[in-house]
């Protein structure tokens, strides 16, 4: 049995698409299932997904848009100096680029500024605003920030500088005293779609100013929308679809340069933005000053773009290296806390780069499925600063807000947060967060869950169906790439592939369906040909030499039956650590237990282990039968270490015992060191067998051994050879080897199962 990493959350759709709509829109069965799983069942909603309907809400219906346009046009007419104040992530630099480019087209005197993540932090800051005033700026327009900048905005407004806030983040109970606030969630206005990103709001402002903005602005808005993980529905979906068309047909020179440096020359999709373009634009702001990324996006000459993109690639590689180093260190700390039973992982250390801690926290959550806060300790500033990531069952905002007395500053939402705190409060906060989690665990299951959209049969996994599914793209937040569940697939082949066998490749069912499980090559030896297995994952088309085949990209697997796995060969090495808490080791009685997870044969093993390893060969079949009789587990690993095998030596027959005894009587005294080999030659037996015979004789009192000199007992008690304990142990050992080492493994499995039922 392989226990799934997640609880598979599948629920039947509450509504179905009517047959009339299916016929009218020509929906294939697979598309019908996918749309129903997302509660998209009405004709108009379906058309918005499957057709290229452009959703373009009136930009003038955004809050304060009239006031914003009027003030911007006035500034242009009066040749006032305008500052666009951005943010250091991908959404921020695309927002900045869209608005600066828009104002330049209108002839404005415009500059731009992006705060430094480390020295200035997120959002407006008084120093930057004061500096803008000192340089003669009379209008500041924020993009992708500003809605929480109450004090800073009031300060600069009091100096006579007007501020227009364009933002999309959560609004507080009060709003800043800005000249205008352009925000899709503004409570006093009724914009049809609340979930634009910063670049989306900047694009709507550009529409209001230019009437018909350049198409390349759509490409930038699409990048910001996907990179910021906002809802990919309604107008956002339309922006992304249009933007992807632009990126493929007329990509900006900056984007061409980024992709060239990344070695990417295929069709640009939402995944290209999410995994290639977005992370590279984010990398600069995570390490240094994000102004560099905005400068790249604003460049229009190929040579300049290629030079800047090359530097961007260096930043991205540096970011990857830093993440890898910190992740390695953080995993060690996380593993220790998990073993201690911690339910909230608070990891803190000096010299961790603050700009990447959110990425590291996500990797820890992915591994341990526990909410995680990672802090860099800055002893010079006497504070710790970092990022947190959560699981679905736990609101990170709620849990941190409940302990705000220990935190200097924090902000975030359900799944993520950033914070700063005093170093001396770290241990107290860790303790209280874990107490909070323990109380939550009494009423809420913390088991990780994975939403399953559709259940399929193996015969439904075809190239045609996958192409139909891909026609629903782009996928993203609130419109995820569908996760499919396929049950009872038969394993036809198993391979660990990639460097060091890092990944797993399976062939499944009579349809010879390929399946890939990234980073799980380690379980190749836990699977067996012919086993039935259930899988959840995504569907993909694999192209090779012009041929297209369907394949599964596995997210999780489950095997409902008990697994008995053969690791007796020296070619197979267990990759478990002997202090892992979910694995019990059964060892030979003479061997010392290393920890509480080690048991001797015959002892009762507590029923809390998923895996049990029979590490050593037992003395007797009774010992292993006693262990098996009360065992509860999902996987049993047979390693059965032993010094040497005696099965093929067997047990000497009685005639050999008699001949040996006669030879010893004839000599009366035998010096083993000098005469042992001659005795072996005389009796035609191996030295090991002679040693065994002599041990039996000694135990039964037939001989004495005085420092290697064998003497006959002239008055022994008459006993049968079979009465010897040593003789019986050898019999038992030979039976153990016969049953556990040399029998067909299928017979061994059936015998073990008979005791576990």
What is the rounded CA–CA span in Å between residue 610 and residue 417?
34
* Per-domain residue ranges of the chain: 5-17+450-560, 18-46, 57-312, 340-446, 562-642+737-753, 645-722
DSSP letter for each residue of 213-252: --HHHHHHHHHHHHHTT---SHHHHHHHHHHHHHHHHS--
pLDDT, residue 288, reads: 87
What is the rounded CA–CA span in Å between residue 226 and residue 240?
8
Q: Which long-range contacts (CB under 8 A, 24 or more apart) does 47-55 make?
A: 48/234, 48/237, 49/237, 49/472, 49/479, 50/25, 50/471, 50/472, 52/241, 53/238, 54/238, 54/242, 55/193, 55/234, 55/235, 55/237, 55/238
Q: Could you report the per-residue pLDDT of 473-497, keeping only the tens digit for each?
A: 999 999 999 999 999 899 999 999 9
User: At residue 579, does pLDDT exceed 70?
Assistant: no
Going from the C-alpha of 381 to that of each of 158, 289, 358, 420, 719, the distances in angstroms are 32, 21, 21, 11, 85
User: At residue 500, does pLDDT exceed 90?
Assistant: no
Angle between helices 654-667 and 672-683 (to 10 degrees): 140
Q: Is the Cβ–Cβ distance between 114 and 290 less than 8 Å?
A: yes
pLDDT, residue 1, reads: 65
pLDDT, residue 568, reads: 87
Q: Is the Cβ–Cβ distance between 308 and 296 less than 8 Å?
A: yes
DSSP letter for each residue of 715-735: SPPP--GGG-HHHHHHHHHHH
Question: Angle at the Cα of 633 (from 632 to 637), degrees rounded to 5?
Answer: 125
For 645-722, the fitting CATH number among 1.10.10, 1.10.150, 3.90.79, 1.10.3470 is: 1.10.10
Q: What is the mean pLDDT of residues 209-229?
A: 96
Q: Which two tokens stand for residue 78?
A: 């009066």
Angle between helices 215-227 and 234-249 (to 10 degrees): 120
Residue among 654, 673, 670, 733 nearest 703 (CA): 670
Q: Which long-range contacts (CB under 8 A, 24 or more apart) does 67-70 make?
A: 67/179, 67/180, 68/164, 68/166, 68/179, 68/180, 68/182, 68/205, 68/208, 69/208, 69/209
Question: Angle at the Cα of 708 (from 705 to 711), degrees rounded to 5?
Answer: 40
Q: Is the Cβ–Cβ distance between 123 and 149 less than 8 Å?
A: yes
- Write out the H or E segment, with its range, that includes residue 535: strand 532-544
pLDDT, residue 578, reads: 61
Q: Would you call 246 exposed, middle or buried from its count of C-beta atoms within 10 A (0-12, 13-18, 19+)?
A: buried
- Write out the H or E segment, with its range, that includes residue 516: strand 513-517
What is the rounded CA–CA span in Å between residue 469 and residue 456?
13
What is the rounded CA–CA span in Å between residue 221 and residue 512?
42
Q: Could you report the per-residue pLDDT of 659-698, keeping only the tens digit for each?
A: 999 999 888 889 989 999 999 999 999 999 999 999 999 9
Residue among 546, 525, 502 nearest 639 (CA): 525
Q: Are strands 416-422 and 409-412 parallel, antiparallel or unpaired?
A: antiparallel
Q: Could you report the per-residue pLDDT of 644-660, keeping only the tens digit for each?
A: 899 998 899 999 999 99
Domain 340-446 = CATH 3.40.50.1820: no
DSSP class of 498: S
Angle between helices 291-298 and 278-287 (to 10 degrees): 140
What is the rounded CA–CA span in Å between residue 57 and residue 312?
35
Q: Which two tokens stand for residue 255?
A: 């984007």
Q: What is the mean pLDDT of residues 111-117?
A: 94
pLDDT, residue 631, reads: 83
Write the secondary structure of 292-359 as one string of H (helix), E (strand) and C (coil).
Answer: HHHHHHHCCCHHHHHHHHHHHHHHHHHHHHHHHHHHHHHHHHHHHHHHCCCCCEEEEEECCCHHHHHH
Domain 5-17+450-560 sits in CATH at 2.40.50.460
Q: Which two tokens stand for residue 749?
A: 């499995």
Helical ranges in 417-552 per DSSP H: 426-441, 463-470
Q: What is the mean pLDDT of residues 29-48?
A: 94
Q: Could you report the per-residue pLDDT of 521-573, keeping only the tens digit for each?
A: 988 888 888 888 999 999 999 988 889 999 999 999 998 778 888 888 877 77
User: At residue 610, does pLDDT exceed 90?
Assistant: no
- Write out the H or E segment, with its range, that includes residue 738: helix 725-740
What is the rounded CA–CA span in Å between residue 80 and residue 571?
76
Peptide bond preceding 474 in cis form (omega within 30 of 0):
yes
Instruction: Give the residues across from 450 on adjacent strands.
Output: 8
Which one is predicted more confidently, 385 or 559? 385
User: At residue 608, does pLDDT exceed 80?
Assistant: no
pLDDT, residue 757, reads: 60
Backbone φ, ψ for residue 15 (5° rounding): -130, 155
3-state SS, residue 615: strand
Going from the C-alpha of 101 to that of each of 110, 123, 228, the distances in angstroms are 9, 21, 21
Q: Which two tokens stand for residue 446?
A: 């913390």
Domain 57-312 sits in CATH at 3.90.1640.30
> pTM of this prediction?
0.79
Q: Is the Cβ–Cβ distance between 628 and 756 less than 8 Å?
A: yes
Percentage of the chain exceeding pLDDT 90: 76
What is the rounded CA–CA span in Å between residue 172 and residue 150?
10
User: At residue 368, does pLDDT exceed 70?
Assistant: yes
Q: Could you report the per-residue pLDDT of 406-445, keeping only the tens digit for each?
A: 999 887 778 888 889 999 999 999 999 999 999 999 999 8
Q: Which two tokens stand for residue 505?
A: 């490749």
Backbone φ, ψ for residue 532 (5° rounding): -85, 135
């Amino acid at each position: 049995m392989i226990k799934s990493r997640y609880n598979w959350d599948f629920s039947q759709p509450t509504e179905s698409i009517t047959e009339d709509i299916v016929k009218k829109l020509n929906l294939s069965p697979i598309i019908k299932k996918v749309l129903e799983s997302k509660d998209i069942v009405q004709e108009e909603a379906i058309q918005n997904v499957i057709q290229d309907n452009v959703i373009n809400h009136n930009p003038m219906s955004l809050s304060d848009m009239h006031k914003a346009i009027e003030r911007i046009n006035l500034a242009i007419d009066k040749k006032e100096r305008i500052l666009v104040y951005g943010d250091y992530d991908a959404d921020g630099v695309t927002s900045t680029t869209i608005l600066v480019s828009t104002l330049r087209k209108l002839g404005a005197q415009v500059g731009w500024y992006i705060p430094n993540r480390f020295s200035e932090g997120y959002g407006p800051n008084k120093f930057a605003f004061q500096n803008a005033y000192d340089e003669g700026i009379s209008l500041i327009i924020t993009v992708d920030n500003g809605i929480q900048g109450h004090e800073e905005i009031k300060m600069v407004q009091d100096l006579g500088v007007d501020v227009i806030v364009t933002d999309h983040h959560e609004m507080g109970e009060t709003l800043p005293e800005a000249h205008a606030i352009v925000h899709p969630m503004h409570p006093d206005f009724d914009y049809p779609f609340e979930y634009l990103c910063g670049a989306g709001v900047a694009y709507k402002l550009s529409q209001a100013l230019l009437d018909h903005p350049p198409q390349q602005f759509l490409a930038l808005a699409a990048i910001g929308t996907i990179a910021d993980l906002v809802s990919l529905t309604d107008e956002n979906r339309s922006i992304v679809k249009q933007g992807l068309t632009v990126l493929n047909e007329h990509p900006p020179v900056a984007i061409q340069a980024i992709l060239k440096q990344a070695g990417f020359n295929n069709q640009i999709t939402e995944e290209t933005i999410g995994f290639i373009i977005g992370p590279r634009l984010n990398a600069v702001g995570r390490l240094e000053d994000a102004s560099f990324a905005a400068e790249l996006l604003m460049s229009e000459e190929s040579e300049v773009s290629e030079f800047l993109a090359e530097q961007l690639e260096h930043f991205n590689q540096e970011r990857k290296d830093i993440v890898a180093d910190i992740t390695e260190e953080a995993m060690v700390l996380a593993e220790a806390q998990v073993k201690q039973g911690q339910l909230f992982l608070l990891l803190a250390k000096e010299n961790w780069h603050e700009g990447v801690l959110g990425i590291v926290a996500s990797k820890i959550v992915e591994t341990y499925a526990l909410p995680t806060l990672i802090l860099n300790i800055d002893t010079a500033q006497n504070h710790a600063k970092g990022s947190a990531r959560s699981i679905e069952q736990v609101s990170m905002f709620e849990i941190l807000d409940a302990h705000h007395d220990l935190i200097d500053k924090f902000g975030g939402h359900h799944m993520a947060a950033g914070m700063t705190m005093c170093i001396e409060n770290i241990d107290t906060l860790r303790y209280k967060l874990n107490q909070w989690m323990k109380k939550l665990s009494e009423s809420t299951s913390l088991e990780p869950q994975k939403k399953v959209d559709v259940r399929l049969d193996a015969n439904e996994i075809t190239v045609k169906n996958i192409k139909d599914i891909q026609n629903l793209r782009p996928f993203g937040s609130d419109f995820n790439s569908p996760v499919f569940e396929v049950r009872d697939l038969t394993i036809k082949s198993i391979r660990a592939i990639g460097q060091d066998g890092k990944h797993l490749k399976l062939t499944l069912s009579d349809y010879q369906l390929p399946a890939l499980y990234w980073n799980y090559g380690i379980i190749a030896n836990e699977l067996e040909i012919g086993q039935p297995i259930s899988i959840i994952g995504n569907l993909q088309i694999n192209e090779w030499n012009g041929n297209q085949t369907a394949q599964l990209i596995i997210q999780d697997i489950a095997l409902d039956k008990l697994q008995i796995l053969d690791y007796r060969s020296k070619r197979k090495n267990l990759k478990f650590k002997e202090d892992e808490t979910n694995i019990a080791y059964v060892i030979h009685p003479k061997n010392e237990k290393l920890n509480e997870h080690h048991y001797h044969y015959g002892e009762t093993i507590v029923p809390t282990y998923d895996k049990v390893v029979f590490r050593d060969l037992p003395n007797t079949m009774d010992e292993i039968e006693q262990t098996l009789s009360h065992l509860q587990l999902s996987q049993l690993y047979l390693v059965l270490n032993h010094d040497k095998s005696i099965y093929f030596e067997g047990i000497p027959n009685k005639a050999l015992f008699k001949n040996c005894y006669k030879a010893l009587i004839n000599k009366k005294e035998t010096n083993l060191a000098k005469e042992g080999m001659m005795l072996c030659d005389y009796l035609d037996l191996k030295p090991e067998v002679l040693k065994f015979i002599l041990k039996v004789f000694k135990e039964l009192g037939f001989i004495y051994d005085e420092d290697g000199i064998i003497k006959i007992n002239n008055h022994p008690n008459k006993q049968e050879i079979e009465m010897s304990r040593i003789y019986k142990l050898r019999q038992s050992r030979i039976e153990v080897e016969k049953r556990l080492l040399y029998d067909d493994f299928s017979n061994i499995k059936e015998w073990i199962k008979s005791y576990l039922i």
